[in-house]
Structure 1
Amino acid sequence: CDRVVIYQFNPDWSGMFVAESVASGWISLLLQQNKEPHLTEDILNSENCAVRTWGVTQESIQDTYLQETQGCTFRESSRYLVSEDIYTTRLTPCHIELLERFQARAYIIVPIFCGNQLWGLLASYQNSSARTWDEAEINVAVQIGTQLGVALQQAQLLEATQKQSVQLQGAALAAESANRAKSTFIANMSH
């Protein structure tokens, strides 16, 4: 593929590209979002945005838009969206316009869950032409998305553990100081 990006959501469904690998000759979405801070806002704010349904919970995904339009392949068991050609997939005009701005012609998009929260997306784009995605390519994308979620969850746990360790060290120092003050007070009282 021509581009792979990681997109991170904010709680209000805005977000930003946080990582990208792009083949030469294509615009960088990381650089483009600096020029256009609201690059993805319109599609994510749309009620028809299939990705937003992933935000409910990891266990309960019901994507009626995709069921009605049959616009993309979506399997609840593997949780991914695929388009072999954005012009033959039944997408909304604003979604096609956004994908054109990304220079995308075909894509695989998988969610990145951190626990049960939708953290972001891993998207692979074919820019040069339409593309029939192999099942193996889809499986690799799904596995990478899952592993990214696990890594994010571990990073959050490490951060929480480090914060707790700092708090415990502070509490231990305060307790030690209080014990010294108590010992000094008792020693002074006994003389």
Structure 2
Amino acid sequence: MKQDSLYTYHFLEFETGTPALKWCQQEIPDIILLDFALPDGDGLKFIQQFRECHSNTQTAVIMLTGQGDEITAVRAMKSGVQDYLVKKKLTSEVLQGAIHHALERMDLTRQLEQSQEQQQLIAAIALRIRQSLKLEEILHTTATEVRQFLKVDRVVIYQFQPDMSGTIMAESVLPGWTVALGKEILDTCFQQGAESDYHQGKKRAIDDIYQAGLTNCHLQLLEQFEVKANLVVPILVKEQLWGLLIAHQCSASRHWQSVELDLLDRLAVQIAIAIQQGSAYQQLQAELAERQRTEAALKASEEKLKLTLSFAGIGYWEWNPITDQILASENAIRCFGSDLSDVNWTYEKWRGQVYPEDREWVEPQLRQAIATQTDYAVEYRIVWQDGSIHWVSVKGRGVYEATGKLLRMLGVLIDITERKFSEEERRRAQMLRIELRLLEQILEVGLAGY
């Protein structure tokens, strides 16, 4: 074990390539110092076999050779060698510089790959949010993908209640660790006001919970879930603290990288978008459900009313003054002596069946009711297609805009022909009795003169 100002090194030395390659099949080194001329083979052949085992690793290879030439150097670089050193020119400073340079390149490459993976993860989650309105599904998938990406033991998404208690809404956890999904947590630390940092959007990275100066209540809470290190990022929805996105390392303490904290911070923004989108969708669904219930109740009420009117022989009508169409029930159509298949009723068609003498006062009375926004109630005669005359009693009420414009008029009507004829018969009988009485009186006066 050796170290310098930047790194700590653990060396493993092999005399030949075969045992070294066998070891590399089980472990992945950060740097390989490789002799070009191995006792049991070619150094370039060793690199080829190593890359076949670990094609995706960022292991840096520095090749050492007894004598350097351009052809060998080019072959080495094409094989994936990061640096090429000639032994007779080798010093500790040169070797240290080559190692530092190789490690820096390896770190930059890893950071670039990690950044690309982060971008892909964030883009995938953002796409899923745009494509799905199921908040629960989005939260659980996000927790799983974050845990796999960070290679941590547990990732949870936690939602606060108004009293700062809360519930684990989503979780992805490796086997063997406590399952926290659905658990309600009563955190006295937050209730005492420690949540203010999260309200301000501040993040927290703890490498070792026992070295972070946490309060006893906070430690006890983390110990319930075997936490050794954690990352915590607040989820702010419309500038209000909704909850937390948390990564747990349970197996050991862990030094968190700034890129890992940045990833959780960016994902917390995506989660906030999903929450707003999901909340809006749930509200829309609730409104639609309420509207459907209202419409169903209204429809049931209308059907009940129509059934009642049908049994009572009462017709229902609805006039749309904009389209001039009249919607009429079967009873209403019967009152006008029309065939039930004749459903194309208009204002002009109705007007044409009103008895001519009655039409002169029925229409003005209708216009007066509309102008004053009062109920319309009349009795008038209509002429059937066979020429017979019938009586109807009609009541109507308008539906108006705020400006007073008539949107539609609803009403009922009933055939009162029999009643009118009975009234006419009674009136005629009464007139006949009066006439007879008058004749009797005249006859009595006449007889009295003799």
TM-score over 0.5 for the pair: yes
Q: Report if aligned partners of 1:81, 1:109 keep a CA contact under 8 Å in 2.
A: yes
Matched residue type, 1:124: A
Structure 2 residue 247 is matched with structure 1 residue 22: no
Q: How many residues align?
A: 163
**Match status 1:91 vs 2:220:** no
1: CA distance, partners of 2:284 / 2:220:
44
Residue by residue over 1:13-64, the C-alpha shift from the partner in whole angstroms, topping out at 9 and shown as x without a partner, is 1112122111222222238x4xxx5x543333233x2x34434xxxxx2xxx
Query: What is the Cα deviation at residue 94 of structure 1?
Result: 1.7
Q: How does 1:27-176 map to 2 (within 5 A)?
A: 27-30=178-181, 33=183, 39-47=185-193, 49=194, 51-55=195-199, 61=200, 79-169=202-292, 174=298
CA deviation digits over 1:99-134, x for unaligned, max 9?
Answer: 122211111111122323222111101112221111
Q: CA deviation at 1:144?
A: 1.7
* Residue of structure 2 aligned with 1:188, choices 405, 413, 435: 413
The answer as to whether partners of 2:198 and 2:234 remain within 8 angstroms in 1 is yes
**What amino acid does structure 1 have at the position aligned with 2:187?**
E
Distance 1:2 1:166 in 2: 41
SS at match of 2:260: helix
Runs ≥4 in structure 1, deviation > 6 angstroms? Answer: none
Could you tell me how far apart the structure 2 residues matched to 1:88 and 1:54 are?
A: 21
Distance in 2 (CA, whole Å) between partners of 1:171 and 1:129 is: 57
Q: Is the contact between residue 209 and residue 219 of structure 2 (CA under 8 Å) also seen in structure 1?
A: yes
Q: Contact (CA 8 Å) 2:207, 2:256: kept in 1 or not? A: yes
Secondary structure (helix, strand or coil) at the match of 1:146 reads helix
Q: Which residue of 1 aligns with 2:155?
A: 4
The structure number with the bigger radius of gyration is 2
Q: Distance in 1 between matches of 2:166 and 2:223?
A: 19
Percentage of pairs with the same residue = 32
CA–CA distance in 2 between the matches of 1:97 and 1:187? 74
Query: Is 1:40–1:98's contact at 8 Å kept on the other side of the alignment?
Result: no
Which TM-score applies when normalising by structure 2? 0.32
Which string of whole-angstrom CA distances, capped at 9 and with x for unpartnered residues, describes residues 47-92 of structure 1? 3x2x34434xxxxx2xxxxxxxxxxxxxx5xx31111111121211
Change (3 A) 1:52 1:171: same
Deviation sequence 1:141-181 (CA, Å, 0-9, x none): 1122111111011011112222333444566674994xx89
CA separation of 1:116 and 1:25: change in aligned 2, threshold 3 A:
same
> CA 1:187 to 1:152, structure 2 compared with 1: closer, same or farther past 3 Å?
same
Q: Is the 8 A contact 2:187 2:221 kept in 1?
A: no
**Cross-structure match for 1:70:** none
CA RMSD of aligned residues (A): 3.0
Structure of higher RCO (CA pairs closer than 8 Å, 6+ residues apart): 1
Instruction: State the AA in 2 paired with 1:46.
Output: Q
CA spacing shift, 1:148–1:189, aligned 2, 3 Å:
same
Distance 1:165 1:28 in 2: 36
**Counterpart-to-counterpart distance in 2, 1:171 and 1:101:** 48
Unpaired runs of 5+ residues, structure 2, are 1-151, 310-315, 318-328, 330-394, 396-410, 417-450
1:190 to partner: Cα distance: 8.1
Q: Is the 8 A contact 1:43 1:98 kept in 2?
A: no
